[in-house]
Amino acid sequence: MDTAPLIDPFARAISYLRVSVTDRCDFRCTYCMTEHMTFLPKAELLTLEELDRLSSAFIRLGVKKLRITGGEPLVRKGILTYFQAMSRHLETGALTELTLTTNGSQLARFAPDLAACGVRRVNVSLDTLDPDKFARITRWGRLPQVLHGIEAAQAAGLRVKINAVALKGVNDDELFPMVDWCAREGHDLTFIEVMPMGDMGEADRLDQYWSLRDLRASLATRFTLTDLVERTGGPARYVRLEETGQKIGFITPLTHNFCESCNRVRLTCTGELYMCLGQEDMADLRAPLRASPDDAVLDQSIRAAIARKPKGHDFDYSRRRVEGQVSRHMSHTGG
């Protein structure tokens, strides 16, 4: 069997796979979903066994980092079975990191088991520390439940990184309180520009857009920022706040194109492989997966998909309309 690593047309080795295990979520965040979402029929989703087989194929072909996403991954029924299956690749050393991005709502219940499966850190999406604002942003979420989940994750030995979407007129007044809270709690913090994913209303998206260049300039009024060369395999660029020693990340798909070092692809819960978050092109891996119990056809399909990975995306708000907008919601592709 051919186990040569996955190299895209621009000589980038693909070593990072993000797997969306469900498009469902127990929140309805205003920048991610409409309030009354139509979710995929459960019959269309890959089974947990199929997710195992697909993920294992990528690991065999050189993927070292596996991030589980959604929707909200922890609402997928039986999801611990999948984490337990992936832990065998950690034990052999084929996989160096197994992690997840979560809204934190289910962490209190799952954190000890995730730690037992070899998960060492989690990213928690949290845009505000104001309970009322949190309820407005998430529509269905409750902030105390998430904070309790974060505490449970820490108690289980998991390192927590907070991901906050920068939203003008929503949480731009919480920049320093969020930074201060993360410093006290020992969490790393990454800010993310709102991305043009899904038909959410173009005017709303533009009104929400808070450039991280402006956010960084605001941070610099209080802190001394030192750029770090450190990269974690994702798109974030990092600075250190010299006064606190904190590490702050910036994910800027709109004001800084981070594609030149892209080493990742995204697999949806229905077996679609997106070679670029900001492009519509995808490869159907569910068909070859189900066509044969032999992995040769599947491996060939994966290699053919990677051969189509583009150089980059073209998100752009600068012309006051959403250039490069893609039609699918973020919950479909996975965060």
286 is in an annotated binding site: no
259 is in an annotated binding site: yes
262 is in an annotated binding site: yes
118 is in an annotated binding site: no
117 is in an annotated binding site: no
333 is in an annotated binding site: no
18 is in an annotated binding site: yes
182 is in an annotated binding site: no
C-alpha–C-alpha distance, residues 282 and 24, integer Å: 21
What is the enclosing helix (H) or strand (E) of 89? Answer: helix 79-92
Query: Which residue reads 């939203």 in tokens?
Result: 167
301 is in an annotated binding site: no
264 is in an annotated binding site: yes
Q: How many angstroms separate the Cα of 199 from the Cα of each of 40, 95, 166, 247, 261?
A: 17, 36, 19, 33, 29
C-alpha–C-alpha distance, residues 26 and 42, integer Å: 16
Task: Enumerate residues 6+ apart whose C-beta is below 8 A from 112.
Answer: 152, 156
12 is in an annotated binding site: no
25 is in an annotated binding site: yes
List the one residue out of 151, 150, 152 whose CA is nearest residue 163. Answer: 150
169 is in an annotated binding site: no
Core vs surface per residue 83-112: b (16+ CB within 10 A) or e:
bebbbebbeeeebebbbbbbbbbbbbebbe
Beta strands 188-193; 282-284: pairing state: unpaired
67 is in an annotated binding site: yes
Taking a C-beta distance cutoff of 8 angstroms, is the pair 122, 153 a contact?
Answer: yes
269 is in an annotated binding site: no
Binding residues for GTP: 18, 67, 101, 161, 264-266
Binding residues: 18, 25, 29, 31-32, 67, 71, 101, 125, 161, 195, 259, 262, 264-266, 276
Binding residues for S-adenosyl-L-methionine: 31, 71, 125, 195
Binding residues for [4Fe-4S] cluster: 25, 29, 32, 259, 262, 276
